[in-house]
Every structure is written in structure tokens, then in C-alpha cells.
Structure 1
Amino acid sequence: MNISDMTDEMRLIADSAFEFTTGSGGLARARAVRDKWPHFDKETWEQIADLGWLGVAVPEKSQGLGLGVRAVCTLLESVSRKLLPEPLVPALASAAFLADAGAAEARGLLADLMEGRKLVVMCAARASGSFPLRLANVPDCHSGATVLVAQGEGNQFDVRAIVPGGDGCAIRSAACVDGSTLSEIVVQQQEWSRAVRVAAGMQAQQAWEKACDMMLLGDSAYLVGLMDAALQMAIDYMKMRKQFNTPIGAFQALQHRAATAHIDVVASRALVVEACRAFDTPSRARAACAAKARASAAALRVTKECIQFHGAIGFADEHDIGLFLRRAMAVASRQGGEMAQKLRYGAL
């Protein structure tokens, strides 16, 4: 994250993440994979695992890097500048949860995730009601992925690892505007009964809620990097594009609008940083909600403004600036956008 108190480890993570996303194809790859299914490369996912990114938030005693949520947000802000399509946010949160769960089944699944053998994603929405269980709006899921599904409260809290696609667990997916997916998963009772239980009880519920807040922060950091990169692209364009033999960036009206967009980026980043500092305090959930609410609204404002800065070419699919708006629309809505997070904040 572009903050003055970034540690050497965080700078190393940020630099290596940016170099990797640039070297692996950057925006050209993000454009190329958006119409594929799944919308990311298995080979790239294995390279990400080899880099150790999936263990950033996992304690060293569980074979992770143990760098915490600040490092997670630093990583995600960096990779979002090139719109990395791989589902890092739910995978990082899943790894943190599995490490906290501590059960033997969780440790085995964590090892598979960190080594790139399996894609494991959390379904933040808790299953409720009678069977069949219906889980809506599960991001970045496909047949073959392992989905962590939670049900119950307190001592009855139960998390199981479900693999959608079989007779007992149907999955129906729809493409979002950026090429990512949201899925509805229907779990039959027999599938739930034979699924592997990875955690249970009050302690598991606390770990689950903490991981869900990490996903909120991860998406917020991703949005910060995304809108910052979009604004920089727009500023570079305004320095080059001329009207009346003058770069349009010299026009005061556009300068004011760019300054307002920059304030949105900086304010959103500041809330993410504060939420990271509050992550191990009782105000964790409220801070995560505030960060996600601000980042969701700001990312949509900034990316829309950047398209306006580009003029007519900004509306053409051939220009990369539109990729940022599409990605912002998809990520901003995950686990609820601005209004949903404000409502949750008020209820906490």
C-alpha cells in the first residue's frame, strides 16, 4: 500500500506482485481470459502458489508467512493494478480460516490450497433453513473448486467442504460484467452429511467471522489499487491528448475533477489502513464495513470519471480503461456494496 509506514517486507510484496502481474500478461491477459471458463489460468494459479502468496496470512506454525492482514491488503492493492483475475481474495481468507480452525481435516485442505493443488473459496453467506441449502452469489466458484459452507450458530456452528457439480450439489453460474462469475449452489442433505467437516463450535464461528471481515478488507484493498491505476491511466492520457494545441490536463475544470478523484483514492486507502490496524480489536467488523462501503462507492465514481476523462474512446471496448469500471462493478457488489455495508455497520 502506498503509505509512509510501509515495512520493507510489504514493499517487497508490492514490488514482486506488480512485477508478476505485469510479466504474466497484465491487462492483456485480463482481457483475454474474461470470456473463458473459468476466467483464470490454472498455470498462473500454480505460479501464485509457488510464490507463497496463499500463505501470506497463515501463521508460520502452519507453514505460512505469518505477515497478517496488512500484507494481504498490500498484495491485493498491487495485483489489482493489472486486474489480476485469479480469485485471491476468497482463497486468502479461506487459508486464514483453515489455519485458525486447527482440525486435521482443515490442515490437510490448507496444505492443498497453499500448494496450488486445490482452489478453496469461502461462501460468506451462511446457509440457513431446511434442506436443500441454497447459497446465492458465491463468487469465483466452478465445478471442481472446494467451497467452505457454514451453517448454524454458537455450539451448533458447522463448516463443511463442499465440491459442487455432483448430483447432491448442483451449481448454476452466471457471468458478471468483467467476466468473473457469481454462482448459486444447492446442497442436498445427503451431500451435506457426507461432506468433510473442517471446523465446528464457537471458536470456529469466531474464526469464520474474522475471515469474512478479511474478505471485506481484501476486496476494499483490491478496489483501492484498481481505482488508483485507472486514475493514473487517465492522467497519462490527459497529458498526451490535446485540444486547441494544449494538453487537456492543463484545463482547470479537468484538474479539479482529477483532484476530487485522487481524494477518493487516498481516503479509501486510509480507511483500509485503519481497518487493518483495528483487525485484532473489538471494532474489527465495523472498521471492515466502513472500508468496504467507502471503497465500493469511490471505485465506481473514480472509474466512471476516468472514462469521461478519456472522452469517446473511453466508451469503446478496445480501450483498457473500460476494464477497470467493469471490474469495479463486480468487486464492489461482493458481500454487499456501499448501502449494504452501511446497514450492517449500523446494526453492529
Structure 2
Amino acid sequence: MSAATDDRTESIRMIRDSAGAVAPRGGDTKRVRALRFASPGFDRGMLAQMGELGWIGLAVPEEAGGAGLGMSEAVALAEELGAGLVPEPLVPMMLSARLLAAVGHPALEGVLSGKRVVLTAWQERADTLAVPGTPDGARLFLPMAAGADAFLLPIHQGAGLGLHLQEAKGADLTLEKAMDGGNIGTLRPDLGRASLVAEDVGDMLAIALDEAALVTSGLMLGLMERAFAMTVDYLKTRQQFGRIIGTFQSLQHRAADLKIHIALTRAAVEAGAAALDDGATGAARHAAVSKAKHRAAESGMLVLRQCIQLHGGIGYTDEYDVGLFLRRGMVIMNQFGSAALHRRRFMALAPEDVE
């Protein structure tokens, strides 16, 4: 094993350990439940703590004030936070940090510290990774927008994709409740109230969206793993007809199938992270990300639904924690592209011909 591999393994271990201080696996969900359907839906103090830990700037170069780590560390962190049902908008903040770092804008400092919530309002229609950059086009599906301090607006101008910063105060923002207890915003840009950040961020935005899709895959992996662990524990203790239900062969077969889906998802997500860390660009980067996101979204929902079913009637109640994982999965599964979108993109790239 090379020294570089040893260093990466150690950094991933440290990231997982630090995540445990914020979102311990097997911890209670009192904090998560207390934030559900309340405004802004997350704890700003906790987000600032994440900033202090360097999580928001995990993939931002050191010279720009970030940690200078890679996607392997980022997906490991996301996995732990997904397992802990952390509601703070870490992935959207990481996306904004990448853009601000690329252009050297002073707003980066507030984002990296977690004290200023800046969301990138790039999406204008459902299930896409395209960025039309329409000046007056409504920006959709902004996660946890109730807590935003400002928005980054990609706007097509000439041959480039300019980036503008608009303050949230006084913005035309509509909020809707999400099924996991968070909120989703629709923003109607007002360039008269926005300032130009950079003339062209098109290339960087494409990279940042791929990274966000991959990190979201890590979140789904964490949800799957924790819900499955809860389900296995339930199967080992619940009795029916005088027997532990985990001894029923049909349930053992279903659990084994779910474990295979989790293993395949982990393999795809970790391979995608390794590809990006090794410098994959263009079609090779897109293919690696889409393979991971497709697998995480499709297998993730299969596993989460099956975990509910294996719990029986209690799994469908809001009071029982396993349902929280399904609700969170339903909210994030299509963020940065659905399974169908990434499957189409992967096939279109003819990855067997991509070096």
C-alpha cells in the first residue's frame, strides 16, 4: 500500500470520527424530530460547527481556505451524516463554496465558516443537470431555502455563464414543506438587486454539480445502511408465532438481497469518488458520477421501502424512526439528477469507450 493510500485511509477515518461527534450512528433522533416542519428546518449553530470542522470547505483547495481533501473523504462524511439524518444543507453549501473559491470572491469566508447560508439557485426545471441561466427564470428545488442568507445565480450572458449574488432579504421566494420536515424554495431572480460575482463559471459549475451528485449518493448510502441495521436488529428481536421472525427463511432471503444492494451501492460510490480523486475529466467523470448516482438512487429507495415493509405495521407510523429514513430518501433521491437521468447519461457516454 502506497504512502498516499495510507494518508487517504487515515483522513477518511478521521472524517468519520469527527462526524460521529455531530451525528453518532445509533444516536437518538430527538434533535432531528425537533427541527421537522419548523423554520428554517435546521440548526444554524450546528451548521457553524460543521464550518469549524472544515466540512463545508472539504473539497475547496487549501490556498482558498479549504481543507484541500477529495471526494473519497466527502462521500465518507456524507455517508455518516446520512446515517445520522442530519438536516443541515451541507451539500448545497459545499456547491456554493466550490464556486466562490474558484472565483476568489470574499463571500467565501462566510460560507466556509457556516455562518452565512448561500445557496446556488441553478435549476429551472425538474430532473436535469442543465443550467439554462435564464435571467428571469424561476429557480426551483432550493433545499432549506427558509434559512438562506443569499443566493448565487448563474446567468447566461454572451458566450459565458456569469455568476451573480442576490441577498435573500426581500427576495421573491416561495417556500413549500418537504415530506421529511424540511423545506424547498422557488426563487424568482431580481438582477436589479444582485451583484456580479464572476463573468463565466460554466466549467466550474459543471464540475461542482457532478461533485454534489456524488456526495448526495453518499448521503443515500448512509440512509440505506442505517435503516438496514435497524431492520436487522428488529428481525433479531421481534417474535411472531412463538419464534424470532429473523429465523424465517423468506425474511432472511429478503435481508440478504438488501445487503447485496447496499454493497453494490458502496462499490459504485467509492469507485466514483476514486475516479474523481484520480483526476477523471469530461465524459469519464460524468460516467463515474452517473453510475454512482443511479445506483444510489435506485437501490436506495428499494432498500428503504423494503426496510419499512420488514418492520410490518409499526414501520409505517411516524413515531417509529425507520420511517424518517424513507422520508429523507424520498426528498434527496432526485437531487442533482434522478436514477433515470443518470442512467441515460451513463449510457449516452458509451463508457466502455471512455478511458
Same fold by TM-score, threshold 0.5 exceeded?
yes
Instruction: Select 1:74's aligned residue among 47, 58, 76.
Output: 76
Q: Which residue of 1 aligns with 2:164?
A: 160
- Counterpart Cα distance in 2 of 1:153 and 1:12: 43
- Counterpart Cα distance in 2 of 1:277 and 1:137: 29
Q: Is 1:55–1:64's contact at 8 Å kept on the other side of the alignment?
A: yes
What is the identity, as a one-letter code, of the residue corresponding to 1:233? M
Q: CA offset at residue 63 of structure 1? A: 2.0
Question: The residue matched to 2:176 in structure 1 has which SS?
Answer: strand
Q: CA offset at residue 87 of structure 1? A: 0.3
- Counterpart Cα distance in 1 of 2:50 and 2:265: 27
**Residue 249 of structure 2 corresponds to residue 252 of structure 1:** yes
Q: Which residue of 1 aligns with 2:39?
A: 37
Q: Which residue of 2 aligns with 1:233?
A: 230
**Residue 112 of structure 2 corresponds to residue 114 of structure 1:** yes
Q: Which moved more, 1:83-92 or 1:157-166?
A: 157-166
What is the identity, as a one-letter code, of the residue corresponding to 1:323? L
Q: Is 2:122–2:139's contact at 8 Å kept on the other side of the alignment?
A: no
Question: The residue matched to 1:148 in structure 2 has which SS?
Answer: strand
CA change 1:154–1:10 in 2 (3 A) is farther
Q: Is 2:213–2:337's contact at 8 Å kept on the other side of the alignment?
A: no
**Residue 330 of structure 2 corresponds to residue 326 of structure 1:** no
- Counterpart Cα distance in 1 of 2:288 and 2:157: 23
Q: CA offset at residue 316 of structure 1? A: 0.9
Q: CA offset at residue 227 of structure 1? A: 0.5
Q: Which residue of 1 aligns with 2:264?
A: 267
Aligned pairs (5 A) from 1:52-131: 52-102=54-104, 106=105, 108-125=106-123, 126-129=131-134, 131=135
Normalised by the size of structure 1, how large is the TM-score?
0.90
**Residue 136 of structure 2 corresponds to residue 132 of structure 1:** yes
Residue by residue over 1:5-55, the C-alpha shift from the partner in whole angstroms, topping out at 9 and shown as x without a partner, is 8601111111220232139x7522112111111100112112212222112
Q: CA offset at residue 247 of structure 1? A: 1.4
- Counterpart Cα distance in 2 of 1:26 and 1:98: 35
**Residue 204 of structure 2 corresponds to residue 207 of structure 1:** yes
Instruction: Select 1:51's aligned residue among 50, 53, 65.
Output: 53
- Counterpart Cα distance in 1 of 2:291 and 2:149: 30
Q: CA offset at residue 100 of structure 1? A: 2.1
What is the identity, as a one-letter code, of the residue corresponding to 2:324? L
Q: Which residue of 1 aligns with 2:127?
A: none
Question: The residue matched to 1:65 in structure 2 has which SS?
Answer: coil
Question: The residue matched to 1:43 in structure 2 has which SS?
Answer: helix
Q: Is 2:12–2:73's contact at 8 Å kept on the other side of the alignment?
A: yes
Over the aligned positions, Cα root-mean-square deviation in angstroms equals 2.1
- Counterpart Cα distance in 2 of 1:289 and 1:65: 25
Q: CA offset at residue 143 of structure 1? A: 5.8
Normalised by the size of structure 2, how large is the TM-score?
0.88
Q: CA offset at residue 147 of structure 1? A: 1.7
Question: The residue matched to 1:55 in structure 2 has which SS?
Answer: coil
Q: CA offset at residue 336 of structure 1? A: 2.8
- Counterpart Cα distance in 1 of 2:175 and 2:38: 13
- Counterpart Cα distance in 2 of 1:315 and 1:144: 32
Q: Which residue of 1 aligns with 2:214?
A: 217
Question: The residue matched to 2:145 in structure 1 has which SS?
Answer: coil
Residue by residue over 1:98-120, the C-alpha shift from the partner in whole angstroms, topping out at 9 and shown as x without a partner, is 22223xxx2x1111111222012
**Residue 299 of structure 2 corresponds to residue 301 of structure 1:** no
What is the identity, as a one-letter code, of the residue corresponding to 1:156? G
Question: The residue matched to 1:151 in structure 2 has which SS?
Answer: strand
Task: Give the share of equivalent positions with the same residue, in percent.
Answer: 34
Q: Is 2:214–2:292's contact at 8 Å kept on the other side of the alignment?
A: yes
What is the identity, as a one-letter code, of the residue corresponding to 2:173? I
- Counterpart Cα distance in 1 of 2:137 and 2:122: 14
- Counterpart Cα distance in 2 of 1:261 and 1:214: 26
Q: Is 1:154–1:205's contact at 8 Å kept on the other side of the alignment?
A: no
- Counterpart Cα distance in 1 of 2:345 and 2:167: 30
Residue by residue over 1:63-118, the C-alpha shift from the partner in whole angstroms, topping out at 9 and shown as x without a partner, is 2211111111111101111100000111112212222223xxx2x11111112220
CA change 1:296–1:184 in 2 (3 A) is same
Q: Is 1:314–1:321's contact at 8 Å kept on the other side of the alignment?
A: yes
Q: CA offset at residue 221 of structure 1? A: 0.4
Residue by residue over 1:272-318, the C-alpha shift from the partner in whole angstroms, topping out at 9 and shown as x without a partner, is 11111222213112221221111111111111111111111111111
Instruction: Select 1:21's aligned residue among 15, 18, 23.
Output: 23
Q: Is 2:19–2:77's contact at 8 Å kept on the other side of the alignment?
A: yes
What is the identity, as a one-letter code, of the residue corresponding to 1:135? R
Q: Is 2:162–2:199's contact at 8 Å kept on the other side of the alignment?
A: yes
Q: Is 1:159–1:197's contact at 8 Å kept on the other side of the alignment?
A: yes
